[in-house]
Amino acid sequence: MKEVDARGLSCPEPLMLTAEALKGASGPVKILVTEPHQKMNVEKYAKDHGRKSTAGEKDGYFEVVIE
Amino acid sequence: MNLSDSKKKLALAGVICGLVAACLAFLGNPANMAFCIACFIRDTAGALGMHQAEVVQYARPEIIGLVLGAFIISVGTKEYRSTGGSSPMIRFVLGMIIVIGSLVFLGCPLRMIIRMSAGDLNAWVALIGFILGVATGVFALKKGFSLGRAHAVNKSGGTMLPVMMAGILILALASSVLKASEAGPGSMHAPLIASLIGGLVFGAVAQKSRMCFAGSIRDVILMKNFDLFSVIAGLFVVMLVFNLATGRFVVGFDTPGIIAHSNHLWNILGMYTVGFAATLAGGCPLRQLILAGQGSSDSAVTVMGMFVGAALCHTLGLAASGTAMNAETQEIVAGAVPPHGKVACIVCIIVCFVIAFTNKRDEAK
C-alpha cells in the first residue's frame, strides 16, 4: 500500500501530498498526519473525490486509509 | 463539537466572530479596527515597553483571550498537541515580516476585512495585494516549499505562550507596571472584561473552525475549496450590517479618523508581504495565535516574531500614519508610509522570496 508520511508538516502540505499520491495510485493509500484537523481535511478530501476512507489514532498521530 | 465540517457551520463561526468584533467596536475599540491582530499585538508590545510610541500602548485582553481560548478549548476537546522544531528562526522572521507588512498597510487580514465592510476602499485595493501575496506563496508550495516537520516536545513546551499571556493579564489586573495610552488608538478600548470574554469566545471559535484569512484564499487558489472562505463571508456580512446600522459605513479613500492611508502602491505591497509571509508560515496572524494556543511552539515563536516586528515598526519608524483631521485648521492631513517603511517592506518581500525558494520539502525530511 502506498504510504504518505505527512506527520509534523504544516498546512496545506498534508493535503497537497494526499492529492499527489491519489493521482498516481490505483489501490489504497495510507496517509499519516499529526493534527486532528489535518485528519479531518484528508477524510473530507477523500469524500469530496468520491473515495471511502477509514481513520484511526495511533501513538501520537492519525492514520487515514483511502480506498 | 466541530465547526469545520460544513460551509454552514463555518459561516456560522464567521458570524459569531463578527458579532464579537462588532460588540467590541460598539463598546469602545477603535472605529473600524474592532479586532485587529497586528494592531493589538503592537499595542500589547507597547504596554510591555517594547516600543515607546505613547499612543499605541495597551495590553489588549483580546490577544490574551485568543490564546487562552484556543488553549482551553483544545485541552477540553483533546486537540492540544505540544509540538515544535519546524524551522523556528525562519518562522520568527516570518512573524516579523507579517507585522511589518501589516503596519505598512495599517491592519492584519482580519482588519482588512473589517475595513472593507466599513466602506474603506483602501482595504479593497489592499485585497489585490493580499491575494497576489498568497498566490506567490502557493506557487512556492507547488514548487516544493516546506519549513520541515514539527515533532512532539515536552507537554509543558506548548503551554509557555498561554502562561505568558496569563501573566500579562495578571499584570494588567493587579499592577500598574504596564504602560497604557492616554490618547490615540491605544486609549480607545472596550472594558477589560468584555475584551477578555470576546477574545476567549473568538479564540475558541477560531480554534474549532480553523479560521484563517490567508488559508481561505490559499485553499481557493490551490484546491478550488471555498470552505474557509465561508468564515470570511460570515464575518464580513455581520460587520457590514453593523457598520450600516450604526452609521459607520463610509465609502471613500481619504476618510479621516479611521486609521488608514491612501498610498495605493504601499497598501498593495504591504498586504502582498502579509499574504506571502503568512502562506509560508502556514497561517495568518490570527491562526498563528490559535495554533500557539493549541500547543505549537513553532507558532508561538512566530507570535514572538510578531511582537518584535511590531516593536521595530515603532522604534525604527516603519509604520504608516493614518489620514487625520487637523483639529486647528480643520484640514485633512493625508496618511502616508514613511521612507523607512517602504524600504523595510521591499526588504521583507525579498526575504520572503529567499525563504520560499531555498527551503524545499525534500531537504526537510
What does chain A look like in DSSP terms, one character per residue?
Answer: -EEEE-TTPPTTHHHHHHHHHHHT-SS-EEEEESSHHHHHHHHHHHHHTT--EEEEE-SSSEEEEE-
- Chain B residues in contact with A7 (beta carbon < 8 A): 149
**Residue B271 confidence (pLDDT) above 50:** yes
Give the mean model confidence (pLDDT) for residues A28-57: 91
Provide the pLDDT for residue A64.
95
- Give yes or no for B82 touching A (CB within 8 A): no
Contact B282 A10 (CB under 8 A): yes
User: Per-residue pLDDT averaged across B168-197, rounded?
Assistant: 95
With an 8 Å Cβ cutoff, are B223 and A7 in contact? Answer: no
Q: B351, B117, B344: which is closest to B248 by C-alpha?
A: B117
Q: Is the pLDDT of residue B49 over 90?
A: yes
Is A47 at the interface with chain B, CB within 8 A? no
Residues B309 and B97: their CA atoms lie apart, in Å, by 7
pLDDT of A33 > 60? The answer is: yes
From chain B, pick out residues whose CB is under 8 angstroms from the CB of A36: 79
Tally A–B CB contacts below 8 A: 48
Residue B343 contacts by C-beta under 8 Å, 6 or more apart in sequence? none
CA distance B14 to B212: 11
- How is chain B split into domains, by residue range? 7-364
Number of alpha helices (DSSP H) and beta strands (DSSP E) in chain A: 2, 4
- For B299, other C-beta atoms within 10 Å of its C-beta total 30
pLDDT of residue B256: 67
| Residue to test with chain A: of B3, B6, B223, B226, most A Cβ within 10 A | B223
Compute the distance between CA of residue B173 and CA of residue B170 in angstroms, rounded to an integer: 5
Predicted complex ipTM: 0.91
Question: How many degrees, rounded to 5, is the angle at CA B300 between CA B297 and CA B301?
Answer: 90
Q: How many alpha carbons fall within 13 Å on the CB side of residue A5? A: 7
Tell me the residue type at B356: A
Q: d(Cα B142, Cα B5) in Å, to the nearest integer?
A: 26
Q: Name the residue with cell 469530496.
A: A48
Identify the pLDDT of residue B258. 75
Task: Over range B127-137, report the average pLDDT.
Answer: 98
* B contacts of A57 (beta carbons < 8 Å): none
CA dist list (Å): B303 to A23, B89, B179: 36, 12, 20
pLDDT at B326 over 90: no
B102-124 per-position pLDDT tens digit? 999 999 999 999 999 999 999 99
Select the residue from A5, A10, A32, A53 to test the B interface by mutation, using most B Cβ atoms within 10 A. Answer: A10
Q: Give yes or no for residue B211 having a pLDDT over 90.
A: yes
Q: Predicted confidence band at A49 (pLDDT cuts at 50, 70, 90)?
A: confident
In chain B, the residue whose alpha carbon lies closest to the alpha carbon of A40 is: B5
Whether B361 and chain A come into contact, CB under 8 Å, resolves to yes
Pairwise CA distance, residues B33 & B39, whole Å: 8
3-state secondary structure of B151: strand
When the pLDDT of each residue in chain B is averaged and rounded to a whole number, the result is 93
Q: What pLDDT is stored for residue B365 in this prediction?
A: 46
Show Cβ contacts of residue B326 under 8 Å, excluding neighbours closer than 6 positions: B332, B333
Spatial contact of B161 and B30, defined as CB atoms under 8 Å apart:
no
The answer to whether A63 faces chain B, any CB pair under 8 Å, is no
Higher pLDDT, B122 or B259: B122
Note whether residue A22 is domain-resident. yes
Indicate whether A25 belongs to any domain: yes
Query: Considering the entire predicted model, what is its pTM?
Result: 0.94
Average pLDDT over residues B270-299: 97
Closest residue of chain A to B221, computed from CA coordinates:
A12
Cβ within 8 Å, pair B83-A34: yes
Cis peptide bond N-terminal to A12, omega within 30: yes
Give the model's pLDDT for residue A43: 93
At B364 the pLDDT is 46
Q: Which residues on chain A are in Cβ contact (under 8 Å) with B361?
A: 13
Contact partners, residue B183, CB within 8 Å, separation at least 6? B54, B55
Contacts of A15 in chain B (CB under 8 A): 223
Inter-chain CB proximity B4 and A40 less than 8 Å: yes
Q: Which residues of B touch A35 (CB under 8 A)?
A: 79, 81
Calculate mean pLDDT across residues B29-47: 91
Confidence of residue B1 (pLDDT cuts 50, 70, 90): low
Q: What is the mean pLDDT of residues B322-331?
A: 82
The shortest C-alpha distance from A27 to chain B (Å) reads: 23
A61 domain-assigned: no
Closest listed residue to residue B138, CA positions, set A11, A40, A19, A57 = A11
State whether B218 and A35 contact (CB < 8 Å): no
According to DSSP, the β-strands at A2-5 and A29-33 are: parallel
Nearest to A15 among B151, B223, B282 (CB): B223
- The C-alpha atoms of residue A58 and residue B101 are separated, in whole angstroms, by 41
Position B190 confidence tier, pLDDT thresholds 50, 70, 90: very high
Q: How far is CA B293 from CA A58, B14, B166, B208, B308, in A?
A: 23, 19, 12, 12, 19
Q: Is the pLDDT of residue B363 over 80?
A: no
Is B345's pLDDT higher than 60? yes
Closest CA to A66 of A11, A33, A22, A36: A22
Other C-beta atoms within 10 Å of A50: how many?
6
Map grid coordinates 498586504 to a residue: B271
A43 domain-assigned: no
Minimum Cα–Cα distance from B294: chain A residue: A35
CB-based contact B4 A12, cutoff 8 Å: no
Provide the residue range defining the domain that includes A21: 1-31
When pLDDT is cut at 50, 70 and 90, the band that residue B80 belongs to is very high
Task: Determine whether the interchain pair B5/A35 forms a contact, defined as Cβ–Cβ distance below 8 Å.
Answer: no
